[in-house]
Structure 1
Amino acid sequence: MEYLIIFLLEFQIMNKTLITLFCCCCFLAASAQSKKSLLRNLEKNAPDSFLVRFKTTKGNFDVKVYKDWSPIGATRFYQLVKAHYYTNMYVFRSTEKYAQFGIQNDTALNRFMDKKTIKDELATHSNQRGIMAFATGGIDNRTVHIFINKIDNRRLDTMAHSKGFPPFGRVVKGMEVVDQFYGAYKDTITFKYQDAVMKYGNKYLEEHFPGLDKIKKARIKH
């Protein structure tokens, strides 16, 4: 009987290990597939204009993108949306001035895209309320982080460290949805914990910053 109990315990441990390994393999396979999808879509060229529907936990909003505003930025955004990059993603920054998102739950993709920077462009349109642009923290380092201006932020049109934050689109429907994103944490995550979120994904935000709203998905309407 004692040997039987030991055997059963060992079998349970082995079974759990196999399940864990299987889940890890599935995650790695999904991550690799997502990376392949991104690589394919990073070669695509954006049309002159297009409309993107964002579905969120607060409702839907639509963004009209104009390529001539920011050819490089609009093209990168088009590529990311086509690759379904903005899916299951928390709005980790929501203040009276901005709403920002762009960190994937897939941490391997975060590391991958963090190196896929694009060149700066001049801001040809002003960062007014409802305007969307890429976030940047230095010269030529725009990647995947998007912000929406909740007020007029014209100071962002020219910045000392870059050519400003060039808009590429405007919220044309559902700005009231953006205004409702959970904002209790304000800039805390951005300035203190962003690296941890990049490393651990959604589970870190869910554990330490409950209540955040989420981008369920973003898809091109036409």
Structure 2
Amino acid sequence: MLKQIILATTMGFATISVMAANTIVEMKTSVGVVELELYDDKAPITVDNFKRYIDSSFYNGTVFHRVIPGFMIQGGGMTKDLSEKQTNETIRNESSNGLLNSRGTLAMARRNDPNSASSQFFINLEDNAFLNKAERNAGYAVFGKVIKGMDIVDKIANVPTQNKLTHQDVPVEAVEIINMKIKAPTN
């Protein structure tokens, strides 16, 4: 009888685990492929926003327009000529979700207004504790992490950069996001 209860309980947890699976995204860049795991349960607003952009093919043809070695790579909102794409409405900042801006995590870029994130995101190249929510700092919302292809992220981080138009730290040769696709959606 006890074995049956333990087995039933274990099977129940397995079912719950499957239902709460995180979304897996494949990001194909001009440098290589990066696989991302999105934290659907910890950052639901941010993940839903990101998935809407993926589903609409918004990210296809955008570039990593800001690359700072030892800090982060940022993309998801500009084309090769550094024109900003028209975005959806901004979202509420979810930086209070307990996730930290550590190496390999995916976070939303924003302006000074904490609730101004739209399409642009960045991948942390190091542990960037100063980007986390603190007493007087709204923080930057982490909503995923790189699970494959951190070597590709590091390659992007090491491309030569320049000042171009009004932007700094722009890759000399564009690093394009060719496409993103959801490989394993949340059940």
Same fold (TM over 0.5): yes
**Structure 1 residues 160, 101: CA separation in 2 closer, same or farther (over 3 Å shift)?**
farther
Match of 2:46 in 1: 73
Contact 1:92 1:189 in 2 (8 A): no
Contact 2:105 2:145 in 1 (8 A): yes
Normalised to the residue count of structure 2, the TM-score between the two structures is 0.74
User: For the residues of structure 2 that align with 1:64 and 1:86, how far apart are their CA atoms?
Assistant: 17
Contact 2:63 2:75 in 1 (8 A): yes
Which secondary structure state, in structure 2, belongs to the residue aligned with residue 220 of structure 1?
Answer: strand
Match of 1:43 in 2: none
Match of 2:74 in 1: 100
- Give 1:220 deviation, angstroms: 0.6
**Pick from 170, 180, 183: which aligns with 1:218?**
180
Which secondary structure state, in structure 1, belongs to the residue aligned with residue 23 of structure 2?
Answer: strand
User: For the residues of structure 1 that align with 2:104 and 2:141, how far apart are their CA atoms?
Assistant: 13
Query: Which string of whole-angstrom CA distances, capped at 9 and with x for unpartnered residues, describes residues 58-88 of structure 1?
Result: 1101000011221111110111111111111
Which secondary structure state, in structure 1, belongs to the residue aligned with residue 99 of structure 2?
Answer: coil
**Structure 1 residues 106, 215: CA separation in 2 closer, same or farther (over 3 Å shift)?**
closer
Counterpart AA for 1:103: G
**Pick from 105, 126, 132: which aligns with 2:100?**
126
Structure 2: state its 5+ residue gaps.
1-19
How many residue pairs align between the two structures? 159
Contact 1:138 1:162 in 2 (8 A): no
Task: Identify which of structures 1 and 2 has the higher relative contact order when contacts are C-alpha pairs closer than 8 Å and 6+ apart.
Answer: 2
Normalised to the residue count of structure 1, the TM-score between the two structures is 0.63
**Structure 1 residues 132, 63: CA separation in 2 closer, same or farther (over 3 Å shift)?**
same
Contact 1:93 1:183 in 2 (8 A): no
Match of 1:17 in 2: none
User: For the residues of structure 2 that align with 1:52 and 1:166, how far apart are their CA atoms?
Assistant: 18
Query: Which string of whole-angstrom CA distances, capped at 9 and with x for unpartnered residues, describes residues 154-176 of structure 1?
Result: 11112677521111101000000
**Pick from 110, 114, 118: which aligns with 1:143?**
118
**Structure 1 residues 48, 125: CA separation in 2 closer, same or farther (over 3 Å shift)?**
same
Structure with larger Rg? 1
**Pick from 159, 169, 173: which aligns with 2:148?**
173
How many percent identity over aligned positions? 25
Query: Which string of whole-angstrom CA distances, capped at 9 and with x for unpartnered residues, describes residues 114-141 of structure 1?
Result: x611111224111100000110112210
- Give 1:112 deviation, angstroms: 3.4
- More strand as a share of residues: 2
Counterpart AA for 1:184: P
- Give 1:103 deviation, angstroms: 2.1
Match of 1:59 in 2: 32
Contact 1:101 1:146 in 2 (8 A): yes
User: For the residues of structure 1 that align with 2:38 and 2:104, how far apart are their CA atoms?
Assistant: 12
C-alpha RMSD over aligned residues: 2.7
User: For the residues of structure 1 that align with 2:52 and 2:77, how far apart are their CA atoms?
Assistant: 16
Structure 1: state its 5+ residue gaps.
1-46, 195-204
User: For the residues of structure 2 that align with 1:110 and 1:165, how far apart are their CA atoms?
Assistant: 21
- Give 1:189 deviation, angstroms: 5.4
Which secondary structure state, in structure 2, belongs to the residue aligned with residue 63 of structure 1?
Answer: strand
